[in-house]
Amino acid sequence: MVKTIIEKVWDRHVVTEEEGKPDLLYIDLHLLHEVTSPQAFEGLRLAGRKVRRPERCYATMDHNVPTRNIKTVSDPTALKQMTTLEKNCKEFGIELAHMTHPDQGIVHIIGPELGLTQPGRTIVCGDSHTSTHGAFGAIAFGIGTSEVEHVLSTQTLWQNRPKTMEVKIFGELGTGVTAKDVILAVIAKFGIDVGTGHIIEFTGEAIRNLSMEERMTICNMSIEAGAKAGMISPDETTVEYLRGRRHVPEGEAFEVAAAEWLALATDEGAVYDTTLTLDAADIEPFVTWGTNPAMGTGISGHVPYASDYASSSDKEALKKAITYMGLEEGMRLSDIPIQHVFIGSCTNARLSDLRAAAAIVEGQHVHPSVTAIVVPGSRSVKRLAEQEGLDEVFKVAGFEWRESGCSMCLAMNDDVVPAGERCASTSNRNFEGRQGTGARTHLVSPAMAAAAAIAGRFTDIRKVPVLQD
Amino acid sequence: MEPINVVTSIMTPLDRKNVDTDQIISKEFLKRIERTGFGKYLFYHWRFDREGKANTDFVLNDSRFEGSQILVADENFGCGSSREHAPWAILDYGFRVVIAPGFADIFHNNCFKNGILPIRLAQSEIDSLLADGQKTPVKLTVDLEQQTVTREDTGANLRFEIDPYSRQMLLNGWDEISLTFQYEEQIAAYEERMAR
């Protein structure tokens, strides 16, 4: 029987299925961080339970870590979360990349880097952007802290079988159009809850042509379309990315594994519950103008008019969003001035993202009214970028070059956008207050963020000479 | 967790779509390492202005809805971050039931682990509840066993669907981990099969 990759990976992990119950799903890899795990470990202790498979867990510190000086955490409650994670990992025998460890980084960046993320695996973490790992053909999804505790003690989860959805991007992406623009366009077109109850597989020529890092950007934001997970069938690009990574098999065993991974790809003729399509040629560099990721449009566009919407609740939502954002109906996106630029997050802080931003920045200078920071996604990304001299490109241009972590994506540490100010951000959520109380977030690609840093407003990277005027 | 079956209460109408978990519980309150005490931070930046003064036009500050145990909101409630601090805050504030046309998956799951009943009703029913409930407080009786929501004002008796597993868990307040331990043999057999 022909199957999608979603069904193949799901079926392989079902421990039991019974009438009237969800499937009991086996979890291959459990990633942990300091914010959503303390209550789970405490639950284990209170009930006298153990971690069933500590070798299937891997922990790091990312959400709270400072990015200026990693030796001092000024916030005592944040510090307590980190020391608590350290204590918990020690007590329960879980490997931890602590704050100053060479492997530290955003959990969704280091999983793939270390080769922990592999095709065909089930991967969970107490973080919604766990969907990132689906780029490898894994079923990867975010869970709450009670489920973290459940996985720690049983290595399983009760899960209802999700429906399957194909999002097909056909054709070729234009110059300057990136993976970030593709996923923002998908969310804007189909809505922030289109994927509810589904796992999305991204297919089509435009997806096949993406690198692994770009594919991670796409799957990372499938949660922003409401999906349980996003996936991409493995191919040679996947295999070559994984070859030689620390936790993948070596030599002959790697070739055996690679053959198994490739066999996971969706079979010809397999049927999805829903298929949606988008023409790559219709996608422009994107900018969000509102307070959820679906509220965005191409850089040549403008903030919508209330009259563009039929329902009164949509008109009301527009009004609320643009009031919060300090924008007006019909305003051109390229006329919006910005004060902050954040290049970072699990969506866009990999080496290729930093290279794309640096290419725009090189030989230019950050606009005098803009504060711009680059926060590499992991210590490894930071080292590699420094070897290439990207840190110098950014610093000479007036960017701050920071230590790795989640940083200004959710502003749990000191990296906060002040109230009323506007940030061009390569992160994933533009919700009210996400980057600081009253802060205004516009989601863009790394190249668009870099161009905005130079111009002091949003600008079309397809016309970069505009930066010289 | 505390079992739940029948809840009778005035409903709190939160007339917003796509309420994300960042709004339910803002990140500055996620640094606690306990499960309790989040209620006072629920919808913090909608409830209070920057000086910490109550926003009188926000529904949670409307005295007519004081003591309410049922929150009614518009579509896609609980989207975004997986933070279980969101249902913890909702429960700690005093809500046992959340009713909406639809919920984001992770939030929906998290409710069941904490003894909160999330109920999906048709958009038309929600529209009417939100419109009427803002004018005059509307009392509802939620009955999980019968799978019904009854409006005291109109007498309307609305049926809702819930999967039998989640219903059982909520009605009995069972600890899911203890239940899963009964499947130890199957889990071990699975691991052995995969190791081969």
| Distance, CA of B155 to CA of B159 (rounded, Å) | 13
Query: Which tokens is B108 given?
Result: 């929906």
- Looking at the 3D structure of chain B, how many domains does it have? 1
Q: Is A433 on the interface with B (CB under 8 A)?
A: yes
DSSP A305: P
Q: Tell me, yes or no, whether A184 and A226 share the same domain.
A: yes
Is the whole model's pTM more than 0.95, yes or no? yes
Per-residue pLDDT tens digits for A407-464: 999 999 999 999 999 999 999 999 999 999 999 999 999 999 999 999 999 999 999 7
DSSP string, A115-171: T---TT-EEEESSGGGGGGGGGT-EEEE--HHHHHHHHHHSEEEEPPPEEEEEEEES
The three-class DSSP label of residue A26 is strand
Contacts of A135 (CB under 8 A, 6+ apart): A112, A212, A215, A216, A218, A219, A220, A230, A231, A232
Q: Is B57 on the interface with A (CB under 8 A)?
A: no
Q: Is residue B1 part of a domain?
A: no
Which of A263, A278, A297 corresponds to the end of one domain?
A: A263
- Looking at the 3D structure of chain A, how many domains does it have? 2
Residue carrying structure tokens 């002091």: A456
Q: Tell me, yes or no, whether A210 and A295 share the same domain.
A: no
Per-residue pLDDT tens digits for A40-75: 999 999 999 999 999 999 999 999 999 998 888 888
Put simply, the answer to whether B84 touches A145 (Cβ < 8 Å) is yes
Residue carrying structure tokens 């809850």: A193
Q: Tell me, yes or no, whether A226 and A341 share the same domain.
A: no
Residue B123: how many other CB atoms lie within 10 Å: 13
- In this predicted structure, what is the pLDDT of residue A465? 59
Residue whose C-alpha is closest to residue A17's, from B186, B173, B111: B186
Q: Tell me, yes or no, whether A236 and A328 share the same domain.
A: no
Q: Tell me, yes or no, whether A159 and A21 share the same domain.
A: yes
Domain limits for position B81: 6-195
- In this predicted structure, what is the pLDDT of residue A109? 98
Per-residue pLDDT tens digits for A146-165: 999 999 999 999 999 999 99
Say yes or no to pLDDT of A469 above 80: no
Q: Tell me, yes or no, whether A233 and A302 share the same domain.
A: no
| Distance, CA of A128 to CA of A42 (rounded, Å) | 22
Q: What percent of chain A has pLDDT over 70?
A: 99
Q: Tell me, yes or no, whether A258 and A397 share the same domain.
A: no
| Distance, CA of A241 to CA of A255 (rounded, Å) | 13
| Distance, CA of A291 to CA of A106 (rounded, Å) | 24
- In this predicted structure, what is the pLDDT of residue A467? 44
CB B41, CB B89: distance < 8 Å = yes
Encode burial over A50-77: b for 16+ CB neighbours within 10 A, e otherwise. ebbbeebbbbbbbbbbbbeebeebeeee
Q: Tell me, yes or no, whether A301 and A440 share the same domain.
A: yes
- In this predicted structure, what is the pLDDT of residue A70? 83
Q: Tell me, yes or no, whether A256 and A357 share the same domain.
A: no
Amino acid at A451: A
Per-residue pLDDT tens digits for A91-146: 999 999 999 999 999 999 999 999 999 999 999 999 999 999 999 999 999 999 99
Averaged pLDDT, groups of 10, chain B, 196 residues long:
96 97 96 92 96 96 98 98 98 98 98 98 98 98 98 97 97 96 98 92
Name the pairing type of β-strands A400-401 and A371-374: parallel
Q: Is A434 on the interface with B (CB under 8 A)?
A: yes
Q: Is residue B108 part of a domain?
A: yes
Q: CATH number of the domain that B158 lies in?
A: 3.20.19.10
Q: Tell me, yes or no, whether A223 and A159 share the same domain.
A: yes
Closest CA in chain A for residue B115: A146
Q: Is residue A331 part of a domain?
A: yes
Contacts of A212 (CB under 8 A, 6+ apart): A112, A135, A136, A237, A238, A241
Q: Is residue A276 part of a domain?
A: no
Helix (H) or strand (E) holding B159: strand B157-159
Which residue in the set B79, B114, B186 is minimally distant from A226, CB to CB? B79
Put simply, the answer to whether A196 touches B105 (Cβ < 8 Å) is yes
Contacts of B152 (CB under 8 A, 6+ apart): B138, B139, B140, B141
Put simply, the answer to whether A150 touches B180 (Cβ < 8 Å) is yes
Q: Tell me, yes or no, whether A364 and A443 share the same domain.
A: yes
Mutate to test the interface with B, among A34, A85, A193 (most CBs of B within 10 A): A193
Domain limits for position A131: 5-263
Per-residue pLDDT tens digits for A165-216: 999 999 999 999 999 999 999 999 999 999 999 999 999 999 999 999 999 9
Q: CATH number of the domain that A388 lies in?
A: 3.30.499.10
Residue A268: how many other CB atoms lie within 10 Å: 6
Q: Is residue A279 part of a domain?
A: no
Query: Which tokens is B65 given?
Result: 């809805």
Put simply, the answer to whether A144 touches B87 (Cβ < 8 Å) is yes
Q: Is residue A268 part of a domain?
A: no
Q: Is B102 on the interface with A (CB under 8 A)?
A: yes
Edge-to-edge strands, sheet with A14-16: A14-16, A23-26, A156-159
Put simply, the answer to whether A24 touches B180 (Cβ < 8 Å) is yes
Q: Tell me, yes or no, whether A211 and A297 share the same domain.
A: no
| Distance, CA of B167 to CA of B147 (rounded, Å) | 9
Largest CA distance in chain B: 65
The CA radius of gyration of chain B, in Å to the nearest whole number, is 18
CB A393, CB A366: distance < 8 Å = no
Residue whose C-alpha is closest to residue A70's, from A108, A106, A98, A103: A98
Residue whose C-alpha is closest to residue A179's, from A292, A291, A300, A285: A285
Q: A223 to chain B nearest CA, in Å? A: 7
Amino acid at B15: D
CB B117, CB B96: distance < 8 Å = yes
Query: Which tokens is A150 given?
Result: 């459940």
Give chain A's mean pLDDT. Answer: 97
Amino acid at A87: K
Phi/psi at A275 (nearest 5 deg)? -125, 130
CB A457, CB A335: distance < 8 Å = yes
